[in-house]
Amino acid sequence: MSILVTGGAGFIGSHTCVELLNAGYDIIILDNFANSKPESLKRIKELTGKDFKFYEADIRDAEALQKIFSENKIEAVIHFAGLKSVPQSISQPLEYYDNNIAGTVCLCDVMSKNGCKKMVFSSSATVYGSKNPSPLKEDMPTGGTTNPYGTTKYFIENILKDLCVPDKDWGVTILRYFNPIGAHKSGRIGEDPNGIPGNLMPYITQVAIGKLPHLNVCGNDYPTPDGTGVRDYIHVVDLALGHVKALERLLRTNGCEVYNLGTGKGYSVLDVVHAFEKAAGMKVNYKIAPRREGDIACCYSDPSKAKEILGWEAKYGIEEMCEDSWRWQSQNPNGLN
Ligand code: NAD
Ligand code: UD1
Protein backbone atom coordinates (compact mmCIF):
# COMPACT_ATOMS: atom_id res chain seq x y z
CA MET A 1 0.00 0.00 0.00
CA SER A 2 1.24 3.47 -0.89
CA ILE A 3 0.67 7.05 0.15
CA LEU A 4 -0.08 9.41 -2.72
CA VAL A 5 1.48 12.84 -2.20
CA THR A 6 -0.02 15.56 -4.40
CA GLY A 7 2.27 18.58 -4.79
CA GLY A 8 5.15 16.47 -3.49
CA ALA A 9 7.73 18.34 -5.58
CA GLY A 10 6.97 21.62 -3.79
CA PHE A 11 8.49 23.20 -0.69
CA ILE A 12 6.55 21.50 2.11
CA GLY A 13 5.75 18.41 0.02
CA SER A 14 9.41 17.62 -0.73
CA HIS A 15 10.37 17.85 2.94
CA THR A 16 7.41 15.67 3.90
CA CYS A 17 8.31 13.06 1.27
CA VAL A 18 11.80 12.81 2.77
CA GLU A 19 10.33 12.19 6.24
CA LEU A 20 7.74 9.70 4.91
CA LEU A 21 10.46 7.72 3.11
CA ASN A 22 12.68 7.86 6.20
CA ALA A 23 9.74 6.52 8.24
CA GLY A 24 9.42 3.57 5.84
CA TYR A 25 6.33 4.55 3.83
CA ASP A 26 6.00 3.77 0.12
CA ILE A 27 5.11 6.97 -1.63
CA ILE A 28 3.89 8.07 -5.04
CA ILE A 29 4.28 11.71 -6.01
CA LEU A 30 1.91 13.59 -8.30
CA ASP A 31 2.78 17.12 -9.42
CA ASN A 32 2.25 19.29 -12.48
CA PHE A 33 5.32 21.48 -11.73
CA ALA A 34 3.13 24.60 -11.71
CA ASN A 35 5.41 25.91 -8.92
CA SER A 36 8.25 23.40 -8.63
CA LYS A 37 10.94 21.64 -10.63
CA PRO A 38 11.79 17.99 -11.41
CA GLU A 39 15.16 18.52 -9.70
CA SER A 40 13.44 18.37 -6.31
CA LEU A 41 12.44 14.75 -7.01
CA LYS A 42 16.08 13.83 -7.71
CA ARG A 43 17.10 15.43 -4.45
CA ILE A 44 14.46 13.59 -2.43
CA LYS A 45 15.94 10.35 -3.82
CA GLU A 46 19.49 11.53 -3.12
CA LEU A 47 18.65 12.44 0.51
CA THR A 48 16.81 9.23 1.33
CA GLY A 49 18.53 6.70 -0.97
CA LYS A 50 15.00 5.51 -1.81
CA ASP A 51 13.03 5.39 -5.04
CA PHE A 52 9.36 6.15 -5.69
CA LYS A 53 6.91 6.48 -8.59
CA PHE A 54 6.19 9.89 -10.02
CA TYR A 55 3.25 11.05 -12.17
CA GLU A 56 3.33 14.42 -13.92
CA ALA A 57 -0.38 15.22 -13.72
CA ASP A 58 -2.90 17.84 -12.71
CA ILE A 59 -5.31 17.19 -9.83
CA ARG A 60 -8.11 18.56 -12.04
CA ASP A 61 -7.54 15.76 -14.58
CA ALA A 62 -9.88 12.95 -13.44
CA GLU A 63 -8.63 10.53 -16.11
CA ALA A 64 -5.01 10.99 -15.09
CA LEU A 65 -5.99 10.48 -11.44
CA GLN A 66 -7.97 7.35 -12.29
CA LYS A 67 -4.90 5.92 -14.05
CA ILE A 68 -2.83 6.46 -10.88
CA PHE A 69 -5.46 4.74 -8.72
CA SER A 70 -5.83 1.87 -11.22
CA GLU A 71 -2.10 1.24 -11.35
CA ASN A 72 -1.43 1.43 -7.60
CA LYS A 73 -2.91 0.45 -4.24
CA ILE A 74 -3.27 3.78 -2.45
CA GLU A 75 -4.08 3.83 1.24
CA ALA A 76 -4.21 7.59 1.80
CA VAL A 77 -3.48 10.90 0.12
CA ILE A 78 -1.47 13.78 1.52
CA HIS A 79 -2.79 16.71 -0.46
CA PHE A 80 -0.38 19.64 -0.84
CA ALA A 81 -1.13 20.51 -4.49
CA GLY A 82 -2.46 24.03 -4.75
CA LEU A 83 -1.57 27.57 -5.73
CA LYS A 84 -0.48 29.71 -2.78
CA SER A 85 0.31 33.30 -3.74
CA VAL A 86 -1.98 35.83 -2.06
CA PRO A 87 -1.43 38.69 -4.59
CA GLN A 88 -1.74 36.32 -7.57
CA SER A 89 -5.01 34.99 -6.12
CA ILE A 90 -6.37 38.55 -6.06
CA SER A 91 -5.45 39.14 -9.71
CA GLN A 92 -6.47 35.64 -10.94
CA PRO A 93 -9.31 34.53 -8.65
CA LEU A 94 -10.84 32.02 -11.08
CA GLU A 95 -7.52 30.25 -11.53
CA TYR A 96 -7.28 29.88 -7.74
CA TYR A 97 -10.87 28.70 -7.25
CA ASP A 98 -10.49 26.25 -10.13
CA ASN A 99 -7.06 24.89 -9.22
CA ASN A 100 -7.52 24.66 -5.46
CA ILE A 101 -11.24 24.00 -5.00
CA ALA A 102 -12.24 22.23 -8.24
CA GLY A 103 -8.93 20.31 -8.07
CA THR A 104 -9.67 19.08 -4.55
CA VAL A 105 -13.25 18.11 -5.44
CA CYS A 106 -11.98 16.17 -8.47
CA LEU A 107 -9.35 14.41 -6.35
CA CYS A 108 -11.86 13.46 -3.60
CA ASP A 109 -14.29 12.14 -6.19
CA VAL A 110 -11.70 9.85 -7.79
CA MET A 111 -10.49 8.75 -4.34
CA SER A 112 -14.05 7.90 -3.29
CA LYS A 113 -14.74 5.92 -6.49
CA ASN A 114 -11.61 3.90 -5.81
CA GLY A 115 -12.41 3.28 -2.14
CA CYS A 116 -9.51 5.43 -0.87
CA LYS A 117 -11.07 7.67 1.76
CA LYS A 118 -8.23 9.07 3.87
CA MET A 119 -6.77 12.50 3.27
CA VAL A 120 -4.39 14.86 5.04
CA PHE A 121 -5.06 18.38 3.78
CA SER A 122 -2.77 21.45 3.81
CA SER A 123 -4.73 24.32 5.27
CA SER A 124 -3.48 27.58 6.68
CA ALA A 125 -3.76 29.83 9.72
CA THR A 126 -5.31 32.28 7.26
CA VAL A 127 -8.71 30.55 7.83
CA TYR A 128 -8.86 32.15 11.31
CA GLY A 129 -9.40 35.54 9.62
CA SER A 130 -8.58 38.74 11.47
CA LYS A 131 -11.05 38.73 14.37
CA ASN A 132 -9.78 35.91 16.61
CA PRO A 133 -7.17 36.77 19.25
CA SER A 134 -3.89 34.80 19.37
CA PRO A 135 -3.10 32.18 20.53
CA LEU A 136 -5.39 30.69 17.90
CA LYS A 137 -7.21 27.49 18.82
CA GLU A 138 -8.78 24.95 16.47
CA ASP A 139 -12.31 25.48 17.82
CA MET A 140 -12.34 29.24 17.13
CA PRO A 141 -14.65 30.43 14.34
CA THR A 142 -13.15 30.43 10.85
CA GLY A 143 -13.90 32.59 7.80
CA GLY A 144 -13.65 36.29 7.10
CA THR A 145 -10.71 35.56 4.83
CA THR A 146 -9.44 38.63 2.99
CA ASN A 147 -8.24 37.19 -0.33
CA PRO A 148 -9.22 34.38 -2.76
CA TYR A 149 -6.27 32.18 -1.70
CA GLY A 150 -7.45 32.23 1.93
CA THR A 151 -11.03 31.71 0.82
CA THR A 152 -10.03 28.56 -1.11
CA LYS A 153 -8.62 27.10 2.12
CA TYR A 154 -11.76 28.03 4.05
CA PHE A 155 -14.07 26.53 1.40
CA ILE A 156 -12.00 23.35 1.05
CA GLU A 157 -12.00 22.82 4.83
CA ASN A 158 -15.80 22.98 4.76
CA ILE A 159 -16.09 20.69 1.73
CA LEU A 160 -13.89 18.10 3.47
CA LYS A 161 -15.88 18.36 6.72
CA ASP A 162 -19.14 17.84 4.75
CA LEU A 163 -17.64 14.81 2.98
CA CYS A 164 -17.16 13.05 6.31
CA VAL A 165 -20.80 13.53 7.42
CA PRO A 166 -22.73 11.05 5.21
CA ASP A 167 -19.90 8.56 4.63
CA LYS A 168 -18.38 7.31 7.86
CA ASP A 169 -15.52 5.59 6.00
CA TRP A 170 -14.01 8.96 5.18
CA GLY A 171 -11.21 10.28 7.36
CA VAL A 172 -9.77 13.75 6.85
CA THR A 173 -7.06 15.51 8.82
CA ILE A 174 -6.93 19.24 8.24
CA LEU A 175 -3.56 20.73 9.18
CA ARG A 176 -3.48 24.49 9.65
CA TYR A 177 0.09 25.60 9.05
CA PHE A 178 1.42 28.78 10.57
CA ASN A 179 4.49 30.30 8.81
CA PRO A 180 6.79 27.58 7.44
CA ILE A 181 10.43 28.60 6.91
CA GLY A 182 13.82 26.86 7.15
CA ALA A 183 15.02 24.02 4.96
CA HIS A 184 16.40 20.50 5.20
CA LYS A 185 19.67 20.42 7.20
CA SER A 186 21.56 19.17 4.14
CA GLY A 187 20.85 22.39 2.24
CA ARG A 188 19.70 20.24 -0.73
CA ILE A 189 15.98 21.07 -0.67
CA GLY A 190 14.24 24.27 0.35
CA GLU A 191 11.87 26.99 -0.77
CA ASP A 192 12.39 28.12 -4.36
CA PRO A 193 9.94 30.94 -5.07
CA ASN A 194 9.30 32.22 -8.60
CA GLY A 195 10.26 35.87 -9.13
CA ILE A 196 10.43 38.31 -6.24
CA PRO A 197 9.40 36.52 -3.04
CA GLY A 198 6.21 37.66 -1.32
CA ASN A 199 7.03 36.01 2.02
CA LEU A 200 9.41 37.33 4.64
CA MET A 201 12.14 34.67 4.92
CA PRO A 202 12.87 34.14 1.20
CA TYR A 203 12.93 37.92 0.84
CA ILE A 204 15.50 38.21 3.66
CA THR A 205 17.70 35.43 2.20
CA GLN A 206 17.64 37.09 -1.23
CA VAL A 207 18.68 40.42 0.30
CA ALA A 208 21.47 38.60 2.16
CA ILE A 209 22.74 36.99 -1.04
CA GLY A 210 22.68 40.31 -2.87
CA LYS A 211 19.81 39.61 -5.27
CA LEU A 212 17.60 42.28 -3.71
CA PRO A 213 18.80 45.63 -2.33
CA HIS A 214 16.88 45.78 0.94
CA LEU A 215 13.95 44.35 2.86
CA ASN A 216 10.82 46.46 3.26
CA VAL A 217 9.59 45.99 6.80
CA CYS A 218 5.87 46.37 6.18
CA GLY A 219 4.64 48.54 9.04
CA ASN A 220 6.20 49.43 12.41
CA ASP A 221 3.09 50.90 13.98
CA TYR A 222 1.24 47.70 14.89
CA PRO A 223 0.21 47.15 18.52
CA THR A 224 3.10 44.69 19.05
CA PRO A 225 6.21 45.04 21.28
CA ASP A 226 8.39 46.60 18.52
CA GLY A 227 5.56 47.72 16.22
CA THR A 228 6.25 45.14 13.50
CA GLY A 229 3.99 42.18 12.65
CA VAL A 230 4.21 39.06 14.83
CA ARG A 231 3.96 35.53 13.35
CA ASP A 232 4.45 31.92 14.42
CA TYR A 233 7.37 30.72 12.26
CA ILE A 234 7.79 26.96 12.08
CA HIS A 235 10.68 24.91 10.70
CA VAL A 236 9.58 23.04 7.58
CA VAL A 237 11.14 19.79 8.87
CA ASP A 238 9.02 20.04 12.04
CA LEU A 239 6.02 20.62 9.80
CA ALA A 240 6.95 17.57 7.70
CA LEU A 241 7.21 15.42 10.83
CA GLY A 242 3.75 16.68 11.85
CA HIS A 243 2.39 15.11 8.65
CA VAL A 244 3.95 11.74 9.50
CA LYS A 245 2.27 11.84 12.93
CA ALA A 246 -1.05 12.97 11.44
CA LEU A 247 -0.93 10.15 8.88
CA GLU A 248 -0.20 7.51 11.55
CA ARG A 249 -3.35 8.54 13.39
CA LEU A 250 -5.48 9.00 10.25
CA LEU A 251 -4.78 5.43 9.14
CA ARG A 252 -6.54 4.17 12.30
CA THR A 253 -9.38 6.73 12.61
CA ASN A 254 -12.32 8.15 10.64
CA GLY A 255 -14.10 11.50 10.68
CA CYS A 256 -12.69 14.97 10.30
CA GLU A 257 -10.05 16.36 12.67
CA VAL A 258 -8.31 19.74 12.63
CA TYR A 259 -4.87 20.56 14.05
CA ASN A 260 -2.73 23.67 14.22
CA LEU A 261 0.90 23.07 13.26
CA GLY A 262 2.83 25.91 14.83
CA THR A 263 5.32 26.48 17.63
CA GLY A 264 3.07 28.64 19.81
CA LYS A 265 5.73 31.39 19.84
CA GLY A 266 5.39 34.71 18.08
CA TYR A 267 8.33 36.60 16.56
CA SER A 268 8.20 40.07 15.07
CA VAL A 269 9.64 40.95 11.65
CA LEU A 270 12.58 42.65 13.37
CA ASP A 271 13.11 39.62 15.68
CA VAL A 272 13.43 37.48 12.53
CA VAL A 273 15.79 39.97 10.87
CA HIS A 274 18.03 40.00 13.95
CA ALA A 275 17.96 36.21 14.37
CA PHE A 276 18.88 35.87 10.70
CA GLU A 277 21.75 38.37 11.05
CA LYS A 278 23.13 36.32 13.92
CA ALA A 279 22.78 33.01 12.06
CA ALA A 280 24.31 34.28 8.82
CA GLY A 281 26.93 36.53 10.47
CA MET A 282 25.98 39.57 8.38
CA LYS A 283 23.77 42.65 8.42
CA VAL A 284 20.51 42.67 6.47
CA ASN A 285 19.59 46.01 4.89
CA TYR A 286 16.07 47.02 5.69
CA LYS A 287 13.78 50.03 5.47
CA ILE A 288 10.55 50.70 7.26
CA ALA A 289 7.74 50.72 4.69
CA PRO A 290 3.96 51.17 4.89
CA ARG A 291 1.76 48.33 6.14
CA ARG A 292 0.90 45.65 3.56
CA GLU A 293 -2.81 45.56 2.78
CA GLY A 294 -4.63 42.65 4.42
CA ASP A 295 -1.92 42.01 7.06
CA ILE A 296 -2.82 41.55 10.68
CA ALA A 297 -0.73 42.60 13.67
CA CYS A 298 -0.28 39.28 15.35
CA CYS A 299 -0.91 35.61 14.57
CA TYR A 300 0.38 32.64 16.55
CA SER A 301 -0.94 29.22 17.43
CA ASP A 302 -1.97 27.28 20.45
CA PRO A 303 -0.26 24.02 19.38
CA SER A 304 -1.42 21.96 22.40
CA LYS A 305 -4.01 19.84 20.54
CA ALA A 306 -1.39 18.40 18.16
CA LYS A 307 0.87 17.66 21.13
CA GLU A 308 -1.87 15.96 23.11
CA ILE A 309 -3.47 13.89 20.33
CA LEU A 310 -0.81 13.46 17.65
CA GLY A 311 2.14 13.39 20.06
CA TRP A 312 3.82 16.05 17.91
CA GLU A 313 5.49 19.29 18.84
CA ALA A 314 7.91 21.57 17.05
CA LYS A 315 11.54 21.02 18.09
CA TYR A 316 13.48 23.63 16.15
CA GLY A 317 13.84 27.25 17.29
CA ILE A 318 14.16 30.45 15.31
CA GLU A 319 17.98 30.13 15.29
CA GLU A 320 17.89 26.84 13.37
CA MET A 321 15.13 28.11 11.09
CA CYS A 322 17.39 31.02 10.10
CA GLU A 323 20.58 28.92 9.85
CA ASP A 324 18.88 26.35 7.63
CA SER A 325 17.18 28.95 5.41
CA TRP A 326 20.55 30.60 4.93
CA ARG A 327 22.40 27.33 4.21
CA TRP A 328 19.81 26.49 1.56
CA GLN A 329 19.93 29.94 -0.07
CA SER A 330 23.72 30.26 -0.02
CA GLN A 331 24.28 26.75 -1.42
CA ASN A 332 21.58 27.19 -4.08
CA PRO A 333 21.70 30.86 -5.10
CA ASN A 334 19.48 30.13 -8.11
CA GLY A 335 17.21 27.63 -6.40
CA LEU A 336 16.65 24.14 -7.82
CA ASN A 337 18.22 24.56 -11.24
P1 NAD B 1 4.52 24.89 -3.31
O2 NAD B 1 3.99 25.79 -4.36
O3 NAD B 1 5.99 24.82 -3.12
O4 NAD B 1 3.97 23.39 -3.53
C5 NAD B 1 2.72 23.12 -4.11
C6 NAD B 1 2.96 22.07 -5.19
O7 NAD B 1 1.71 21.77 -5.82
C8 NAD B 1 3.90 22.58 -6.31
O9 NAD B 1 4.90 21.61 -6.54
C10 NAD B 1 2.98 22.74 -7.52
O11 NAD B 1 3.67 22.49 -8.73
C12 NAD B 1 1.90 21.71 -7.22
N13 NAD B 1 0.60 21.98 -7.85
C14 NAD B 1 -0.10 23.14 -7.81
N15 NAD B 1 -1.26 22.99 -8.48
C16 NAD B 1 -1.31 21.71 -8.92
C17 NAD B 1 -2.24 20.96 -9.67
N18 NAD B 1 -3.38 21.51 -10.12
N19 NAD B 1 -1.97 19.67 -9.95
C20 NAD B 1 -0.80 19.10 -9.52
N21 NAD B 1 0.12 19.77 -8.82
C22 NAD B 1 -0.12 21.06 -8.52
O23 NAD B 1 3.80 25.30 -1.94
P24 NAD B 1 4.11 24.83 -0.45
O25 NAD B 1 4.63 25.99 0.29
O26 NAD B 1 4.86 23.57 -0.44
O27 NAD B 1 2.62 24.59 0.04
C28 NAD B 1 2.00 23.30 0.00
C29 NAD B 1 0.57 23.44 0.45
O30 NAD B 1 0.52 24.03 1.75
C31 NAD B 1 -0.27 24.36 -0.45
O32 NAD B 1 -1.57 23.82 -0.55
C33 NAD B 1 -0.28 25.67 0.30
O34 NAD B 1 -1.41 26.44 0.00
C35 NAD B 1 -0.30 25.19 1.75
N36 NAD B 1 0.23 26.17 2.69
C37 NAD B 1 1.47 26.70 2.50
C38 NAD B 1 1.97 27.66 3.39
C39 NAD B 1 3.33 28.27 3.19
O40 NAD B 1 3.62 29.27 3.84
N41 NAD B 1 4.20 27.73 2.37
C42 NAD B 1 1.19 28.06 4.50
C43 NAD B 1 -0.08 27.49 4.68
C44 NAD B 1 -0.54 26.54 3.77
C1 UD1 C 1 1.16 35.02 4.09
C2 UD1 C 1 -0.27 35.00 3.63
C3 UD1 C 1 -0.93 33.73 4.11
C4 UD1 C 1 -0.17 32.52 3.61
C5 UD1 C 1 1.28 32.64 4.07
C6 UD1 C 1 2.12 31.56 3.48
C7 UD1 C 1 -0.94 37.33 3.49
C8 UD1 C 1 -1.80 38.42 4.07
N9 UD1 C 1 -0.97 36.17 4.13
O10 UD1 C 1 1.18 35.02 5.52
O11 UD1 C 1 -2.25 33.67 3.62
O12 UD1 C 1 -0.73 31.32 4.12
O13 UD1 C 1 1.84 33.88 3.63
O14 UD1 C 1 2.26 31.69 2.11
O15 UD1 C 1 -0.25 37.54 2.49
N16 UD1 C 1 6.78 41.12 5.76
C17 UD1 C 1 7.57 42.24 5.61
N18 UD1 C 1 8.23 42.42 4.43
C19 UD1 C 1 8.13 41.53 3.39
C20 UD1 C 1 7.32 40.38 3.56
C21 UD1 C 1 6.66 40.21 4.77
O22 UD1 C 1 7.69 43.05 6.53
O23 UD1 C 1 8.76 41.74 2.35
C24 UD1 C 1 6.09 40.91 7.06
C25 UD1 C 1 4.58 40.84 6.94
O26 UD1 C 1 4.02 42.11 7.05
C27 UD1 C 1 4.23 39.92 8.12
C28 UD1 C 1 5.45 38.99 8.22
O29 UD1 C 1 6.51 39.65 7.55
O30 UD1 C 1 4.13 40.65 9.32
C31 UD1 C 1 5.24 37.62 7.58
O32 UD1 C 1 4.80 37.80 6.24
P33 UD1 C 1 4.67 36.58 5.22
O34 UD1 C 1 5.91 35.76 5.23
O35 UD1 C 1 4.22 37.15 3.90
O36 UD1 C 1 3.52 35.68 5.85
P37 UD1 C 1 2.03 36.06 6.30
O38 UD1 C 1 1.65 37.41 5.85
O39 UD1 C 1 1.91 35.77 7.75
State the pLDDT at residue 294: 87
Tell me the catalytic residues: 149
The CA-based angle 316-321-324, given to 5 degrees, is: 115
pLDDT tens, position by position, 252-301: 999 999 999 999 999 999 999 999 999 999 999 999 999 998 899 999 99
> Nearest-CA neighbor of 48 among 72, 15, 81?
15
Cis bond before residue 135 (omega within 30° of 0): yes
Q: Is any atom of ligand 1 closer than 6 Å to the C-beta of 58?
A: yes
> Nearest-CA neighbor of 99 among 66, 60, 126?
60
- Check if the beta carbon of residue 246 is closer than 8 Å to that of residue 310: yes
- Average pLDDT score, the chain: 97
Q: At what angle do helices 200-208 and 269-280 cross, to 10 degrees?
A: 40
CA pair distance 295, 292, nearest whole angstrom: 6
**How buried is 4 (Cβ within 10 angstroms: 0-12 exposed, 13-18 middle, 19+ buried)?**
buried
Share of the chain above pLDDT 90, in %: 98
Q: Collapsing DSSP states into helix, strand and coil, what is residue 30?
A: strand
Q: Is any atom of ligand 2 closer than 6 Å to the C-beta of 86?
A: yes
Which atom of ligand 1 approaches the CA of 36 most closely? 9
| Residue nearest ligand 2's atom 26 by CA | 218
CA 199–ligand 2 middle distance (angstroms): 5
Main-chain phi, psi angles of 71, to 5 degrees: -90, -10
CA pair distance 112, 168, nearest whole angstrom: 12
Residues 154-174 have a mean pLDDT of 98
- On the question of pLDDT at 216 being above 90, the answer is yes
- Give counts: helices (H), strands (E), the chain: 12, 14
pLDDT tens, position by position, 80-104: 999 999 999 999 999 999 999 999 9
First to last CA, the chain: 33
Region of residue 294 (left: phi > 0; alpha: psi -120 to 50; beta: else): left
State the pLDDT at residue 160: 98
CA 334–ligand 2 middle distance (angstroms): 22
- Check if the beta carbon of residue 127 is closer than 8 Å to that of residue 153: yes
pLDDT tens, position by position, 8-39: 999 999 999 999 999 999 999 999 999 999 99
State the pLDDT at residue 162: 98
State the pLDDT at residue 337: 81
Q: Collapsing DSSP states into helix, strand and coil, what is residue 118?
A: strand
The CA-based angle 22-10-61, given to 5 degrees, is: 110
pLDDT tens, position by position, 62-84: 999 999 999 999 999 999 999 99
Which atom of ligand 1 approaches the CA of 103 most closely? 18
Q: Report the amino acid identity of residue 324.
A: D
- What's the order of all strands across the beta sheet hosting 118-124? 53-56, 27-31, 2-6, 74-79, 118-124, 171-177, 255-261
State the pLDDT at residue 51: 98
CA pair distance 168, 171, nearest whole angstrom: 8
pLDDT tens, position by position, 238-248: 999 999 999 99
Best of 100, 216, 269 to mutate for ligand 2, by most ligand atoms within 8 A of CB? Answer: 269
Which atom of ligand 1 approaches the CA of 79 most closely? 32
**Strand 118-124 with 171-177, pairing:** parallel
What lies within 8 Å, CB to CB, of 105 at 6+ separation is 159
**How buried is 71 (Cβ within 10 angstroms: 0-12 exposed, 13-18 middle, 19+ buried)?**
exposed
CA atoms within 13 Å, Cβ hemisphere of 129: 10
Q: What is the DSSP letter of 135?
A: S
- On the question of pLDDT at 194 being above 90, the answer is no
